[in-house]
């Protein structure tokens, strides 16, 4: 029987084609039609009109060509970017924007890591924020107004919910506003790790005011913090460290509290008990800077505060701002 089939190439081709199609339907097509193959995370929210407009701009400007939006379940990626990506995160992504090349960093967990003012400055001139960046400037986006009619058409096409008031409000928004809103919602449905609760807020800096520690802390500060807080901690995109305020309230924090906010980012605010700036947001550096490095950074901050307190009265202070509000 087998020999007869092989001797009839047309019949054999048809039978093989039928077998492959049947297998494909059973293994691929049918599962894709099942509801359990299209999960949605519990905290996932549909795009707002402003966020959807920003997503369209993200695609239009080719951001997906340089930035991925998926964290693979590999230890090195999870340590750098955060929890690995879940299928249920992309329920409303049509099409998905996972990307395949990382000329720039992955953005899957970018939402909420930094304040809007940081993103505005970064889009306007990336090299002012990250000197080694090769990202082109997008400052012209803040001059381009959104077209509510176009955004509504996109939402209708994708079946996204909206209200007439939301659509009308777009007329006062720019393309820069939209792009920032889109980036700030990335990863919102995935629970972020909370590490502040395990930090010792009463801890004392083991390096204290050691000159060696201050010098090492200065190098760490310039590499990681100056872009937001100014070259000598006078503020910029982020708040000043030397204005006798800490997380939105008068008075400086303790060594342990500074260690907590640097290590755990904005998540530490609740544990510390201070509100911070209303639109503030700081990423956690605990996975990027070792504990000894963070303590040396605290030594540098303390040195700047001491210098500010002992500066002779009447001496005009230099500005070291990078832009944005204090």
Q: Are residue 67 and residue 180 in the same domain, yes or no? A: yes
- The predicted pLDDT at position 279 comes to 67
Residue 44 lies in a domain: no
Residue with tokens 């007329």: 171
Average pLDDT over residues 296-323: 70
Q: How confident is the model at residue 85 (pLDDT cuts 50, 70, 90)?
A: very high
Residue 321 lies in a domain: no
- The predicted pLDDT at position 204 comes to 87
- The predicted pLDDT at position 1 comes to 55
Spatial distance between the Cα atoms of 289 and 303, rounded to a whole number of angstroms:
20
Q: Are residue 59 and residue 129 in the same domain, yes or no? A: yes
Q: Are residue 17 and residue 87 in the same domain, yes or no? A: no
What share of the chain has pLDDT > 90, as a percent? Answer: 43
pLDDT, tens only, 250-277? 988 899 999 989 988 887 888 888 888 7
pLDDT, tens only, 122-147? 999 999 888 889 999 999 999 999 99
Do 167 and 37 contact (CB within 8 A), yes or no? Answer: no
pTM of the model: 0.70
Q: How confident is the model at residue 69 (pLDDT cuts 50, 70, 90)?
A: very high
Structural domain containing residue 66 = 49-184
- Phi-psi bin for 15: left (phi > 0), alpha (psi -120 to 50), beta? alpha
Average pLDDT over residues 272-293: 82
pLDDT, tens only, 26-40? 887 777 677 766 678
Please give the DSSP secondary-structure letter assigned to residue 18: H
Q: Are residue 175 and residue 266 in the same domain, yes or no? A: no
Average pLDDT over residues 27-54: 82
Q: Are residue 58 and residue 164 in the same domain, yes or no? A: yes
Q: Are residue 54 and residue 154 in the same domain, yes or no? A: yes
Residue 326 lies in a domain: no
Residue 25 lies in a domain: yes
- The predicted pLDDT at position 198 comes to 58
> What total of structural domains would you count in the chain?
3
Q: Are residue 95 and residue 177 in the same domain, yes or no? A: yes
pLDDT, tens only, 165-185? 999 999 999 999 999 999 999
Q: Are residue 285 and residue 218 in the same domain, yes or no? A: yes
- The predicted pLDDT at position 287 comes to 76
- The predicted pLDDT at position 132 comes to 86
pLDDT, tens only, 207-227? 988 999 999 999 999 988 988
Spatial distance between the Cα atoms of 101 and 107, rounded to a whole number of angstroms:
12
pLDDT, tens only, 93-124? 989 999 999 999 999 999 888 888 889 999 99
Query: Can you list the positions of beta strands (E) in the chain?
Result: 245-246, 249-250
- The predicted pLDDT at position 270 comes to 80
- The predicted pLDDT at position 79 comes to 79
Q: Are residue 27 and residue 94 in the same domain, yes or no? A: no
- The predicted pLDDT at position 36 comes to 67
- The predicted pLDDT at position 50 comes to 95
């Amino acid at each position: 029987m087998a020999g007869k089939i092989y001797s009839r190439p047309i019949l054999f081709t048809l039978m093989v084609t039928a077998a492959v199609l049947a297998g494909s339907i059973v293994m691929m097509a049918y599962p894709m039609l099942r509801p359990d193959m299209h999960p949605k995370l519990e905290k996932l929210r549909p795009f707002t009109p402003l966020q959807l407009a920003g997503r369209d701009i993200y695609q239009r400007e080719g951001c997906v060509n340089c930035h991925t939006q998926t964290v693979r379940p590999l230890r090195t990626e999870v340590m750098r970017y955060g929890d690995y990506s879940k299928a249920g995160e992309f329920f409303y992504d049509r099409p998905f924007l996972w990307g395949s090349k990382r000329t720039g960093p992955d953005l899957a967990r970018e939402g909420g890591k930094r304040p809007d003012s940081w993103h505005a400055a970064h889009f306007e001139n990336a090299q002012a924020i990250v000197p080694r960046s090769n990202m082109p400037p997008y400052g012209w986006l803040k001059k381009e107004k959104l077209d509510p009619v176009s955004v509504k058409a996109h939402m209708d096409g994708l079946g996204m919910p909206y209200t007439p008031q939301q659509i009308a409000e777009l007329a006062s928004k720019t393309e820069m506003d939209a792009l920032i809103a889109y980036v700030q919602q990335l990863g919102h449905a995935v629970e972020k790790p909370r590490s502040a609760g395990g930090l010792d807020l009463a801890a004392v800096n083991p390096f204290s005011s050691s000159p060696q520690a201050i010098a090492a802390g200065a190098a760490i500060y310039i590499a990681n913090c100056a872009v937001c807080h100014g070259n000598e901690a006078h503020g910029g995109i982020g708040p000043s460290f030397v204005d006798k305020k800490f997380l939105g309230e008068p008075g400086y924090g303790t060594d342990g509290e500074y260690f907590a906010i640097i290590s755990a980012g904005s998540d530490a605010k609740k544990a510390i008990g201070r509100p911070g700036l209303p639109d503030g947001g700081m990423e956690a550096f605990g996975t990027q800077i070792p504990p000894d490095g963070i303590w040396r950074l605290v030594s540098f901050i303390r040195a700047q505060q001491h210098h500010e307190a002992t500066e002779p009265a009447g001496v005009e202070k230099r500005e070291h701002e990078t832009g944005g509000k204090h």
